[in-house]
Each structure stands twice: as structure tokens, then as C-alpha cells.
């Protein structure tokens, strides 16, 4: 009775073996050791069930079916999965940049587990691909009291969770490959019999790990038999694992497992004494991606980073992100502290060092390349070294500067000894009568804890209550400057002085930005005076209904009919040569009155020879962009042009009156007095020891010339382009390069001021967004939409020829990009449909090498974003190509008559748009997919004219004809989808938020016969009541004292509504006022449309809701509304067994869309034709591009 042997007498096991051997002699194999058994019933050995092959296959098939059903249930698309209370997307890297020599790339990052905390600094070594975490709680706790609170909190929780320093040490050893000889991990292979093949072989697996006590334990499986492995030891010399295999409950009293590690293989014997069995095992290690279902799915953060989790204070538990959440409507009794991390950094222009801002203070981090290149000491090497009192974790054994000597914050933080006590709990304790030999340098066994790799020398530079900002290295790297409380301060390394560089300004002027010339001798800065934008606004009432009675609050709002404040911006040039003797020469070279909220004047850029600066000034009231230059003229080489430059404001007649008005306030002769002092310097006392100083008479004489216009043009493009015009000098210090939209697209233009000649440098029906320029100004680095209107790739652009060399790989959108000066290396976030945002490193060239550096998102995020939409283009009534993407049901056919849902925004957003690769917007992606996959709808996102990123004709289309071009394109798009996408023309719906909420209403009121239903969220209905910074550039020109934008109100049109409309708004919205929805709702009621309109309000919600109405609740309302009026989507006829060959199903198309290789044939269209989005489209990019 083999089936009754569970828990039987000892003598039963030999009987079992004899039975098995008798079966084997008949040519039957036993599943006990992986082989098939035929024709016998279930078999049990030592409590382990074994089944015949036929039954086993049936049970296995049943188990697999159950597993698939569970998997299907887990992966079913629901609103609850799509819209959880907290996002399933993890943080992304930001602030990427390269060192001056291009070897090191740096970035700020926080992992999924650390997502409620600040960012930390990582450095990527392009020479070997190594990444090191340079900042952490454990490191910054040495300097900051608030960070010590975080450290102590984490240490306590880590210990409660059973975490130890020894575990962290083993984790580090595994990551560093120091345990490359150890047998830990999962192994699989074959087991063979040891007695002339009497027992056949089979599949075997070993899973083993090392415990806190240093012993190895795990499980070995042979066939269906699983046995525990205990009390293992490992001999490093012979690389031999010896362990016990025994389990009384299973009837296995004694056994041994002996395995030898040879590279990536384990070989040896499993010997069981009772019953007597001997097997020979040969296994290989399973790769990380083969670890099975039990593998930890937590995103890993920066892949392979060195310097992670060095102390218990760096351990973040899985529940950390939710630890401060309310439970049962109540906040926690004590909130867990938050780590602020690193807020910003800047590389030195000449050395591998950087300045950091952390906690509002400055730090200096210096990388010694020799120390960096040394191999990181293994634990056994570190243990053999004498204690040296190292602080800061220098693995080289050299003593780092103690933190308390690193800056002016001595006494604030604890010593490293105290930190070590708190981290390990292993302080040196002695008996009272024990001799203290701590002063003797001796070898002793080190505590088991992670080895701290070399992470550079960190020095604190400031310790103040005020926060430092706009930190910049001096051009020669000898020190740095920063703004604090409106003052510009300079510090030189090795010098104890702090020098204030900004001169005393009058009439309330304040410095707002600056740049020091490359030769360190001159300063250009921007100063403002007068009232700010908000001071001339008005107070608007927002009513809160949170308490027993309604409470009114006030917010400031400046609208198009409000008066514009009297405010001025000025550019100053300051000669620093005489600054230390208080003899610096200061000149105001340009002043303009601010005429509107979109006026532009930025800090000028220096030429390479430090002789001049260039800048752009945009005047919103006239739409005129001026390119100006100002500089220093050598008096000895004065010619006719320099003589003319003596006239203030030459070529700047429009601003001359303002310039004179401001300069009248300086009649005290401050500047001339400075020059007088300069001329009266007594040089008689010069001594031979002053040989490094030029004689006074040899000092070059110069005159600061006022700014003059070198080129001007009117801007007729998108409202955001003027802010992107930032002239940069070419290497000759004469010609300038900058963005214009004169060609109809944002492209680079080259200006030669000498001849006032403007030449377009890049050309095409796409947009270019420069973000950096090489040190020698021969290359501009930019993202551009060349080749793919929905994507954004990275290019290096030659400033002489305009040639564009593509640096990035794959499809999608790149952001937060940095390129090394020689364009050989690149860092950037890449995203596409099916590819979530991750930081990517690319070694450029003919055969570029791409490496993903981060793992930021949990498994659920990947599951919910693996489906890609189809892209399509159609021609509007004016013959212009309009881009969009759509989802279609799996059983879709061209003959279908399905409901359609279109999502639209429609307004300008700088460089952003909706139909972008990798845009996982809740409306355009999440809810669209849901309605398609669950309810059988066709769903689409369309970017009509008015959207950004498609050229000037698109972005400016909305101005003074608000919503009209968008309405035309949306109607044309809906008709195209009826014809090509199997849509029922009587069941079409439209929805949008903010500007999209306005646009939805505009279409529903002005084209009432097209869409049967609409959902409008937080839409402005009265543009005269919206913020002037937006309305005067996007809607129309304002006029003080007159509500001229009232003509674009939707209120008069509301009476035309025929379909069903759902209005949504947050009642505490201070962006688009809740009254906008109330007032249009009132007009609808007055027009008798109470049956057509529904109102859905969030009493405590803002512009994006987020109060009582959560995202899930919002889309539940959407679903209910749409299904009530337009119903489910169904195929026109039963699905055929085989899809037509000329129609590509979404499931088949998905792989094509996700293919990110260079040879991708393109994107599938609804007709099955494969093509890329029209190159007449263009996508978004970065506006910031100065180094």
C-alpha cells in the first residue's frame, strides 16, 4: 500500500526502494528523480507524494490552468487598478550633467522606496560604467540635525525589522562580486545515480543563502522531493560546501550534501544514509531574471550603484512611503521625519569636483581620481588594516577631513565614533579594571559591516539660516559665487575672506541674476525695480465649505483689464579689476520698462574673449524682439564706431527716454567718481616685489559702451517662443546663434552683427530645443522632433554648418539630457509606450552602446503601460496634417459602428502636447484604454491647431479666435474616424480638462450636431476673468479698464447645446475659478437645458480636484455618464476565425509600435499602412540651454 506510507515505520523505506527498483527493471522511470512513471498509482516516499506520469500531467495541466485564471484575474483592467489613491509610477532622475573632461556624469535620483524623501547625488563613471551614490542619510547625518533625526528613526525601524550591519555587509559583498566563490543563490541541473546507474537521473535544484550566524541553509529538490539543507559551511580554499540534509518528519534521518564551486557550476554528491541513496549533482547558477515568482519585485533604483545601504540609517523599509498616511481618518500620532537630500549641484569648469546645495547650505565635493580608481577594499582586506579613525569612509585607508573641521558648523553634529555606535550598537566596552589600550595602534578583528567605498572628500562651506542660491563656480574654478539675501558673494578656496561683489544700487533696485566673464575681470547682472506683477492685481474670493459654516478666503489675481505696474529691468556691466580697492567701474547699459507679463529680459551671455555681452529683449505690447550687445571698448583702439558708442542708448531710440529717466537718478556722479579715483591712484610707492602687477600706466584703458540693437524682428509665432531666445556667441566672439520661429518652426539662426545678417542654421518642418553648448561653442546640444513628430531625440548641431548628428537611440522622448563636451557620452531619461521613464547612458558613435541605469517603477506600472496606441494623421479642411493616436478593441473590424471618445487639450503648453510618445496621461492613456478594452469603444487623442510643439501656425492659431481652429480640427477628426475607424457617427463623445474643458464646451455649443456627449472639467468660460500672464498671450490683447476678452466668453453660446454635457469643477480652484462653471451652468438652466446638463462638484477640490473627489471617483463618474448615454461598444458581426490580412490588430501592432530599434519600419495606421507620423508635425523640448 504505497499510498499509506506517510509517517510509517522505519522499515517501510527500504521496501519502497525495492518497489521502485522493481518498476525500473520493467523499464519504468520514477518521478521521484525526475523520470516518468507509467501504469502505477500515486507513490509516497517519506511523506512526499509521487504520481504516475499521466495523472501528473493532468494535475500539472489543471494547476497551470488555475494559475492562468488567477493571472488573468490579477491582470484584469479595472478603474481601481488604473487609478489607485497613490501613483504607481516611481520618481525619475533629474539634473544630469557631465564633468569638464567628460569622464563623470552626475544626476540626482531617489528610488521607489525613498519616494517621499529628497534626491541624492550619483556619479556615473563613463570609463567603466560604475555608479557611486555620493550622498545619503548616513553621510549627511554627520552635518545636519534634521538628517540625524531621519537616521535615528530608520535605524530603530531597521533593527525592529531584523536588519543588521552584517546583513548589509553580505548584501554589499554579493553586489560587488566579492562572494563570487560562494554557492549562494539558485542553481539548477541534473542528478544522476551513483550505483552503476541503478537510480536514473532527473532535474535538481538548489536554493541556498547564508544566515546571520554565517551558516548556509536552504533547500535541495530532486524531482518532486524537497529536502531542507542545514548547518552548511564553506571552505574558501577548496571552494567546498558541506551541509546536512535531514528531516525527521519526512523520514530522512541523516544525509550530507557536498558540493564544489567551479566557476558558475556546482558539482558534488547528495548522500542519504537512511534510506541509503547516493546522487551526483551537477548544476549551474540561475540568472537573476530566472529567479522565479518569489523574486522581490521592488524597483531596484540605480542599477549596480556602489555606496547604497552602508548604514542602518540608509535602510528604507517597504512601508516608508505610506508611514505618514492617515489610518481610519486619523493622522499618525507622530510623523516620521523626511530627508531633504541634495537640492542641486554644479561641476567645476576645470576639475573633477562640484558644489552641492543641501539643506540650504553649500558643500564642496572633491574627487581624487587616483583614489577613485583604486579597487574598493574587500572586507578581509579592510579587517587586516589597523584602525585609523577614518571619517567619511575612505576605502584607501587615508584619513579624511573630520566633518567638524570641514566648515563653520563645528559642534552641531556628533563625531564619527558616536555615529558608528548608533549604526552598529557595538561600542568598545571594558571592565573597570581593564587596561585602556585604545591609544595603541594594533590589528584587531573588524566588526562585520559594509566597507565604505571612496566617495570623494566632502566639506561643508556654509552654515547659515538663510538659503544660498544661484551658486556658480568662478570661471577658473578657484572659488565660487552665490546669492544670499539679495547680495552677491564671492569665496576663493584657501582664502578666509567672503567678498561682496554686487555694487550698491539705488532706488530699490535689486540684483536678480548674474554672470562673471571668462577672464574673471568683469560682471554682468540683471536688476529689477518697481512693483511686481501681483501688486496691481485684485483680490478674488474663494469660498470654503469645509467647516460648519462657509468661509470666504482671498487670492490675488491679475487680469487683462487690470493696470500694469510701473516696473523696470536693467542690465549692468561692472569692471571688477578695482573692486577690492572699491574702485570698480559700474555702468547701466540698458533699461526697459516692463510692458506686460510676457515681456522677456534675461541675464546676458559673455563672449569667449570677455569683451562683450549679448541678450534678447521682447516687448509684449509690440511683439518686437531685439537682439542687443554691450561691452568694453579699448580706448587705445577707438575708431568711429566706438566713438558713436559714447552716445547713450545708440540704436535704442525706443528705450532712450526710459534710459535717460533712470540715469537722471544717478546725478551724484558715482560712476565718474569711480573713474576719477582710478586716475588718481598713487603709483610712486610701487616696489620691485610687485612684479606680478602691471605698472599703472600699462593698464588698458576702456570705456563701457551702452547696449545697442544689432538685429530686431517681429514675432508672429507661439506665445512661449520669445522666452526661448537666448543669444550665444560662437568661438569668434562676434557671431551669435539663437532660436527664432521666423521659418514657421523653432529653428536655430545665425546672426553676424557686423553685417546684421541672419542665416537659418537648421532647417526642416520640425522643432529644435537647444539645452547646452560645448565649452568651445562649436557644438549645440538639442532635442528635436526631426523624423518623428510624436518623439524627441537628442542631437549635436555644428554651429558652422548646421549639421545635426543624432546621439540618442531608440524611439520615444528624451528629457533631462546632458551631453559630454566631446559629444561622446550622453545621459537622459527616455520614455515610450511600453517603456517607462528610466535614465539611460549612451556611448555615441557609429555603433552606439545604450545602458539603462535605473529601475524606478513597480511591476504594476509595467503591467498597466505595456499596451501602445496606434498613431494616425488626417488632413483638416485646410489641408494641414493633424496628429493623433487611438485604441481599438481586439475584436474591432472596419465595418464596426462603435462609440467614440476623443480626448483634447488644445491650448499651448510651451513645448508639451498630448499625442506624445510615452505620455501615460490618465485621460489620454489610462481611461482611454479602459473604455476600449472593457467597454469596446474606440478612443482617440487629437492635437488640433492651438497645441504646442507643431510649429508657429499651430501654436498661434488660438490667438484672437479662441477655440475656433480647434473646433474645426476636432470635427474634421471625428468625421475621419467615422470613415476609417469603425465609429458610429451618432455615438461620439468629447472630453478635456482646463483648456480642454473650455474646448469641449466650445465644440458642444458651436457644433452641437457632431458630438452626442461631452465632459468638461475645470474649463475657463470667461477669459476676461483668467490670469493675464496666460490670457494676454494666448487668448487676445488686453486693455486696462476694459474687459475686451469678454467677447470670447462661452456664456452666449451655451443655449445651443443639444447633446448631453457633464460639467466638473473643484470648488476651491484658485486657477480656473469655480464661478466659471457656475455661470455657464446658470446660462444652460436659463436656456431650458436642465435635461442636457449634469453638474459634478468637489467641495474641497482644487484645479485638478484631489479633495473629496479622487481620481478613481472622477473616472467612475465618466464611465457611468458615457455608458448611460452612448452604451457599450459591440462588433458589427461575430469575430472571424482569422483577421483580414490587410488589417493589423492592436495586439499584433503592439510589438511593432514598441520596437525601438533604428530600423523600425514605422507606426501602423488604421488602414494597415505603415508610416511614421508626418514630419510636418513637431514635438516638445527643453527651453533652458545655457551651460
3 state SS for 380-443? HHHHHCCCCCCCCCCCCCCCCCCHHHCCCCCCCCCCHHHHHHHHHCCCCCCCCCCCCCCCCCCC
Give the confidence band of 515 by pLDDT, cuts at 50, 70, 90: very high
pLDDT at 552: 94
Query: Which of 225 and 201 is assigned the larger pLDDT?
Result: 225
> What is the 3-class SS of 564-618, one letter each residue?
CCCEEEEEEEEECCCHHHCCCEEEEEEEEECCCCCCEECCCEECCCCCEEEEEEE
pLDDT in tens, 875-909: 999 999 999 999 999 999 999 999 999 999 999 98
Cα pseudo-dihedral 1045, 1050, 1055, 1056, rounded to 10: 110
Dig out the grid coordinates for 125 from the structure.
Answer: 563613471
Query: Is the pLDDT reported for residue 73 higher than 90?
Result: no
Stretch among 40-49, 297-306, 452-461, 662-671 having the lowest mean pLDDT: 40-49
Q: Is 864 helix (H, G, I), strand (E, B) or coil?
A: coil
Angle at 736 between CA 735 and CA 741, to 5 degrees: 140
Looking at residue 71, what is its pLDDT?
61
CA distances (Å), 595 to each of 529, 537, 958, 997, in order? 14, 15, 22, 30
In sign, the C-alpha dihedral spanning 914, 920, 921, 922 is positive
Which range is least confidently modeled, 523-532, 974-983, 1063-1072?
523-532
- Contact call for residues 763 and 1157 (beta carbons, < 8 A): no
**Block residue for cell numbers 570661471:** 475
User: Closest Cα to residue 245, out of 266, 262, 225?
Assistant: 225
Over residues 803-830, the pLDDT tens digits come to 999 999 999 999 999 999 999 999 999 9
Cell 498613431 found at = 871
User: Other C-beta atoms within 10 Å of 586: how many?
Assistant: 20
Kindly provide the b/e burial profile for residues 137-171, where b requires at least 16 CB atoms within 10 angstroms of the residue's own CB. bbbbbbbbeebbbbbbbbbebbeeeebbbbbbbbe
| 24 vs 917: which has the higher pLDDT | 917
Strands 522-530, 510-516: pairing kind: antiparallel
User: What cell was used for 1027?
Assistant: 490670469
Q: Has residue 550 got a pLDDT over 60?
A: yes
pLDDT computed for residue 381 by the predictor = 55
Judged by DSSP in three states, 927 sits in helix
Instruction: Evaluate if residue 1026 carries a pLDDT over 90.
Output: yes
What does the alpha-carbon distance between residue 1171 and residue 1162 come to, in Å, rounded to a whole number?
Answer: 5
pLDDT over threshold 70, residue 911: yes
Q: What is the mean pLDDT of residues 947-976?
A: 96
235/1121: higher pLDDT: 1121
Q: What is the pLDDT of residue 796?
A: 98
Predicted pLDDT of residue 1171: 36
Q: Say which CATH topology domain 185-287 has.
A: Lipocalin (2.40.128)
- Write phi, then psi, for 891 (nearest 5 degrees): -95, 20
Q: What is the pLDDT of residue 405?
A: 39
Look at residue 650 in the predicted model and tell me its pLDDT: 39
Domain positions in the chain are 2-63, 88-161+338-424+445-500, 185-287, 501-531+566-674+702-763, 771-861, 868-1135
pLDDT value at 683 more than 50: no
**868-1135 maps to CATH 2.60.40.10:** no
Instruction: Give mean pLDDT, residues 770-776.
Output: 96
What average pLDDT does range 1071-1082 have in this prediction?
97
- CA count, 13 A, side-chain hemisphere, 1119: 20
Q: Which residue has the higher pLDDT, 537 or 1149?
A: 537
Question: Does CATH place domain 88-161+338-424+445-500 in 2.30.30?
Answer: no
Average pLDDT for the chain: 82
Please state which of the ranges 64-78, 202-216, 249-263, 486-500 shows the lowest mean pLDDT. 64-78
Element (H, E) at 1153: helix 1146-1154
Euclidean distance between CA atoms 882 and 859, whole angstroms:
35
Q: Are 132 and 176 in contact (CB under 8 A)?
A: no
pLDDT at 394 over 90: no
Write out pLDDT tens, residues 586-643.
Answer: 999 999 999 889 999 999 999 999 999 999 999 999 999 999 999 999 876 655 554 4
Q: State the virtual CA torsion across 1103, 1107, 1113, 1117 in degrees, nearest 10.
A: -50
Which of the 8 DSSP states describes residue 1044? G
Over the stretch 434-463, which tens digit does the pLDDT of each residue have?
A: 444 444 444 554 467 899 999 999 999 999
User: Where does the pLDDT of residue 74 fall: very low under 50, low under 70, confident under 90, or very high at 90 and above?
Assistant: low
**Could you report the per-residue pLDDT of 1131-1185, keeping only the tens digit for each?**
987 655 554 544 444 334 333 333 333 333 333 333 333 333 333 333 333 334 4
Amino acid at each position: 500500500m504505497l499510498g499509506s506510507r506517510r509517517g510509517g515505520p522505519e522499515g517501510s523505506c527500504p521496501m519502497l526502494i525495492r518497489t521502485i527498483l522493481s518498476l525500473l527493471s520493467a523499464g519504468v522511470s520514477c518521478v521521484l528523480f525526475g523520470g516518468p512513471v507509467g501504469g502505477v498509482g500515486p507513490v509516497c516516499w517519506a511523506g512526499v507524494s509521487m504520481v504516475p506520469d499521466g495523472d501528473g500531467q493532468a494535475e500539472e495541466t489543471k494547476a497551470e490552468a488555475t494559475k492562468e485564471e488567477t493571472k488573468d484575474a490579477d491582470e484584469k483592467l479595472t478603474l481601481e487598478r488604473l487609478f489607485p489613491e497613490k501613483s504607481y509610477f516611481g520618481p525619475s532622475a533629474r539634473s544630469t550633467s557631465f564633468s569638464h573632461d567628460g569622464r563623470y556624469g552626475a544626476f540626482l535620483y531617489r528610488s521607489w522606496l525613498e519616494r517621499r524623501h529628497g534626491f541624492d547625488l550619483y556619479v556615473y563613471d563613463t570609463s567603466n560604467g560604475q555608479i557611486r551614490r555620493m550622498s545619503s542619510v548616513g553621510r549627511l547625518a554627520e552635518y545636519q540635525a534634521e538628517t540625524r533625526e531621519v537616521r535615528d528613526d530608520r535605524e530603530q525601524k531597521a533593527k525592529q525589522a531584523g536588519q543588521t550591519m552584517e546583513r548589509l555587509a553580505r548584501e554589499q559583498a554579493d553586489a560587488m562580486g566579492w562572494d563570487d566563490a560562494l554557492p549562494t543563490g539558485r542553481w539548477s541541473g541534473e542528478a544522476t545515480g551513483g550505483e552503476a546507474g541503478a537510480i536514473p537521473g532527473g532535474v535538481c535544484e538548489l536554493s541556498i543563502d547564508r544566515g546571520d550566524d554565517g551558516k548556509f541553509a536552504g533547500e535541495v529538490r530532486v524531482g518532486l522531493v524537497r529536502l531542507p539543507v542545514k548547518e552548511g559551511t564553506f571552505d574558501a580554499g577548496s571552494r567546498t560546501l558541506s551541509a546536512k540534509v535531514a528531516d525527521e518528519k519526512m523520514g530522512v534521518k541523516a544525509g550530507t550534501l557536498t558540493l564544489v564551486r567551479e566557476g558558475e557550476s556546482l558539482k558534488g554528491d547528495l548522500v542519504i544514509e537512511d534510506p541509503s541513496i547516493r546522487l551526483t549533482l551537477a548544476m549551474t547558477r540561475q540568472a537573476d531574471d530566472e529567479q522565479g515568482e518569489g523574486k522581490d519585485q521592488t524597483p531596484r533604483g540605480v542599477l549596480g550603484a556602489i555606496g547604497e545601504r552602508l548604514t542602518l540609517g540608509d535602510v528604507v523599509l517597504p512601508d516608508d512611503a505610506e508611514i505618514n498616511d492617515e489610518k481610519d481618518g486619523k493622522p499618525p500620532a507622530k510623523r516620521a521625519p523626511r530627508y531633504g537630500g541634495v537640492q542641486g549641484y554644479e561641476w567645476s569648469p576645470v576639475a573633477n569636483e562640484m558644489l552641492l546645495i543641501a539643506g540650504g547650505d553649500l558643500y564642496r565635493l572633491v574627487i581624487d581620481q587616483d583614489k577613485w580608481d583604486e579597487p574598493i577594499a574587500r572586507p578581509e582586506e579592510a579587517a587586516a588594516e589597523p584602525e585609523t579613525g577614518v571619517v567619511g569612509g575612505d576605502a584607501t585607508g587615508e584619513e579624511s577631513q573630520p566633518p567638524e573641521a570641514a566648515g563653520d558648523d563645528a559642534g552641531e553634529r556628533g563625531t564619527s565614533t558616536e555615529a558608528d555606535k548608533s549604526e552598529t550598537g557595538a561600542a568598545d566596552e571594558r571592565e573597570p579594571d581593564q587596561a585602556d589600550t585604545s591609544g595603541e595602534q594594533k590589528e584587531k578583528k573588524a566588526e562585520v559591516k559594509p566597507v565604505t567605498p571612496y566617495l570623494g572628500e566632502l566639506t561643508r562651506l556654509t552654515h547659515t539660516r538663510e538659503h544660498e542660491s544661484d551658486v556658480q563656480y568662478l570661471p577658473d574654478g578657484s572659488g565660487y559665487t552665490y546669492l544670499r539675501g539679495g547680495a552677491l558673494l564671492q569665496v576663493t578656496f584657501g582664502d578666509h575672506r567672503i567678498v561682496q561683489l554686487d555694487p550698491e544700487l539705488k532706488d530699490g533696485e535689486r540684483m536678480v541674476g548674474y554672470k562673471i566673464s571668462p577672464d574673471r575681470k568683469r560682471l554682468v547682472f540683471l536688476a529689477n525695480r518697481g512693483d511686481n506683477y501681483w501688486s496691481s492685481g485684485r483680490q478674488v474670493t474663494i469660498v470654503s465649505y469645509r467647516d460648519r459654516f462657509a468661509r470666504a478666503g482671498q487670492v490675488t489675481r491679475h487680469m487683462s483689464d487690470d493696470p500694469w505696474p510701473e516696473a523696470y529691468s536693467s542690465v549692468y556691466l561692472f569692471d571688477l579689476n578695482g573692486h577690492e580697492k572699491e574702485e570698480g567701474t559700474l555702468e547701466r547699459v540698458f533699461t526697459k520698462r516692463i510692458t506686460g507679463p510676457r515681456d522677456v529680459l534675461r541675464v546676458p551671455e559673455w563672449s569667449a574673449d570677455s569683451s562683450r555681452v549679448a541678450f534678447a529683449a521682447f516687448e509684449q505690447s509690440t511683439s518686437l524682439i531685439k537682439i542687443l550687445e554691450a561691452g568694453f571698448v579699448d580706448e587705445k583702439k577707438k575708431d568711429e564706431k566706438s566713438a558713436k558708442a559714447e552716445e547713450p542708448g545708440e540704436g535704442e531710440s525706443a528705450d532712450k527716454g526710459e534710459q535717460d529717466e533712470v540715469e537722471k537718478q544717478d546725478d551724484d556722479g558715482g560712476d565718474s567718481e569711480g573713474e576719477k579715483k582710478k586716475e588718481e591712484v598713487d603709483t610712486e610707492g610701487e616696489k620691485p616685489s610687485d612684479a606680478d602687477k602691471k605698472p599703472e600706466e600699462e593698464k588698458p584703458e576702456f570705456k563701457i559702451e551702452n547696449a545697442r540693437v544689432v538685429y530686431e524682428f517681429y514675432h508672429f509665432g507661439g506665445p512661449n517662443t520669445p522666452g526661448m531666445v537666448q543669444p550665444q556667441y560662437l568661438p569668434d566672439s562676434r557671431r551669435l546663434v539663437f532660436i527664432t520661429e521666423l521659418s514657421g518652426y523653432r529653428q536655430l539662426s545665425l546672426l553676424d552683427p557686423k553685417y546684421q545678417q541672419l542665416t537659418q542654421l537648421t532647417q526642416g518642418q520640425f522643432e529644435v530645443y537647444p539645452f547646452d553648448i560645448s565649452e568651445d561653442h562649436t557644438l549645440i546640444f538639442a532635442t528635436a522632433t526631426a523624423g518623428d513628430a510624436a518623439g524627441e531625440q537628442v542631437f549635436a548641431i555644428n554651429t558652422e554648418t548646421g549639421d545635426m548628428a543624432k546621439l540618442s537611440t531608440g524611439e520615444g522622448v528624451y528629457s533631462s539630457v546632458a551631453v559630454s563636451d566631446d559629444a561622446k557620452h550622453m545621459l537622459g531619461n527616455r520614455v515610450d509606450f511600453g517603456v517607462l521613464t528610466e535614465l539611460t547612458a549612451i556611448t555615441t558613435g557609429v555603433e552606439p552602446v545604450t545602458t539603462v541605469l535605473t529601475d524606478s517603477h513597480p511591476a504594476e506600472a509595467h503591467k498597466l503601460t505595456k499596451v501602445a496606441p496606434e498613431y494616425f494623421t488626417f488632413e483638416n479642411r485646410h489641408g494641414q496634417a493633424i496628429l493623433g493616436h487611438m485604441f481599438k478593441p481586439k475584436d474591432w473590424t472596419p465595418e464596426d459602428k462603435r462609440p467614440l471618445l476623443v480626448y483634447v487639450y488644445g491650448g499651448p503648453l510651451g513645448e508639451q502636447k498630448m499625442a506624445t510618445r510615452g505620455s501615460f496621461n490618465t485621460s489620454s492613456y489610462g481611461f482611454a484604454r479602459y473604455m476600449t478594452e472593457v467597454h469596446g469603444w474606440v478612443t482617440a487623442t487629437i492635437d488640433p491647431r492651438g497645441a504646442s510643439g507643431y510649429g508657429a501656425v499651430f501654436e498661434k492659431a488660438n490667438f484672437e479666435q479662441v477655440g475656433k481652429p480647434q473646433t474645426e480640427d476636432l470635427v474634421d477628426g471625428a468625421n475621419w474616424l467615422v470613415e476609417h475607424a469603425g465609429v458610429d457617427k451618432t455615438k461620439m463623445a468629447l472630453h478635456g480638462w482646463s483648456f480642454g474643458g473650455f474646448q469641449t464646451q466650445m465644440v458642444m455649443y458651436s457644433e452641437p450636431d457632431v458630438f452626442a456627449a461631452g465632459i468638461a472639467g475645470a474649463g475657463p468660460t470667461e477669459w476676461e476673468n483668467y490670469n493675464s500672464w496666460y490670457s494676454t498671450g494666448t487668448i487676445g490683447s488686453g486693455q486696462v479698464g476694459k474687459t475686451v476678452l469678454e467677447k470670447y466668453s462661452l456664456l452666449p453660446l451655451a443655449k445651443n447645446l443639444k447633446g448631453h454635457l457633464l460639467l466638473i469643477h473643484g470648488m476651491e480652484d484658485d486657477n480656473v475659478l469655480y464661478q466659471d462653471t457656475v455661470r455657464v451652468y446658470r446660462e444652460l438652466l436659463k436656456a431650458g437645458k436642465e435635461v442636457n446638463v449634469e453638474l459634478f462638484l468637489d467641495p474641497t477640490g482644487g484645479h485638478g480636484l484631489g479633495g473629496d473627489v479622487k481620481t478613481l471617483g472622477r473616472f467612475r463618474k465618466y464611465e457611468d455618464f458615457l455608458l448611460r448615454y452612448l452604451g457599450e461598444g459591440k462588433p458589427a458581426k461575430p469575430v472571424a476565425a482569422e483577421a483580414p490580412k490587410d488589417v493589423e490588430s492592436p495586439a499584433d501592432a503592439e510589438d511593432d509600435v514598441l520596437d525601438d530599434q533604428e530600423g523600425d519600419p514605422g507606426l501602423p495606421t488604421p488602414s494597415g499602412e505603415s508610416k511614421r507620423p508626418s514630419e510636418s508635425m513637431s514635438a516638445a523640448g527643453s527651453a533652458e540651454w545655457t551651460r
